[in-house]
Structure 1
Amino acid sequence: MRKWKTAAFGLIMASFTGCSSSEFLEESPPKAYLEANNHLYETKVGTYCWKETCVDKAGPLELLKTEKPIEVKANEPLALIIKHKRQPTERHMVQIQNKNEVDVPLKKNKMKAPSERGTYYYYSYSVWWMDKNQKNVSNGDALYAFVLEVK
């Protein structure tokens, strides 16, 4: 009898949490990390819309002005990791150098470090959590930025 009451209570509580207007309980987007050489480096969160809040921040170059670059080896494999139970459904990566933007192809959230040594490379990683039921509706989005120095 006690197990039944516990299970019923759990189902009732689950039904209340499922009625939220947003699937996300956190007040801000999850952190994103760059994995390089078996180490996780935290990225800088830029502009985002999460739950019912949109925050407009400076662009990637301004966000990263005081950040220490992540040191990587030329052509080193890199991975982007977002620690959240629901992963973004759309992603877009851009490399910014000398105010020029170049799309960076990602395969399963992985890329390679640039081959040219000694240069700073700035990146803007944009992600969207698209609604499963409504076409072209985002339940949340975020921009993450990081800077690399190729050694």
Structure 2
Amino acid sequence: MLRLIPLAALLAACAAPDPQADASASAPASVAAAATPEEAARRWFAAVSQKIVAQRYDPRDPADPLVGPLGAARAIVHFSVDAVGRIRAPEVRESSGQPKLDAAAAIMVMAAQPLPPPPPQLLKDGLVPMAVPVQFAARQRQTAPALMGPK
């Protein structure tokens, strides 16, 4: 079964890197120490979300006059996680309509490696299939400052 994990923080503006990215670099010890399998799965999904969110960025340059639309966009990246937390076969299956944003979404997922190892009960044939929605917020196009010169 494919699991679609919520990434509420990723649905917010994706332009700036998370200043606390180093704090999410390793898996929380609480994932392994969960009381129930359901709690372990919930904590693992939260840790995965946090690692992916820490890699967020928006490749669109609002000052570039050739940049495509700066409206909100979403890409969905499908991938699997193996027993040691490596990402396998990432693929953008639902395009944002902008190749630059689709590539950024895939890069964000790959850059989050290694993920914490998943709880054993989530593994099916040694993998956990996942789908991550990556939302890019609408941005304002910046206008170039007017050049002033002699009249």
Same fold (TM over 0.5): no
Normalised to the residue count of structure 2, the TM-score between the two structures is: 0.29
Structure number with higher relative contact order (C-alpha < 8 Å, ≥ 6 residues apart): 2
Normalised to the residue count of structure 1, the TM-score between the two structures is: 0.29
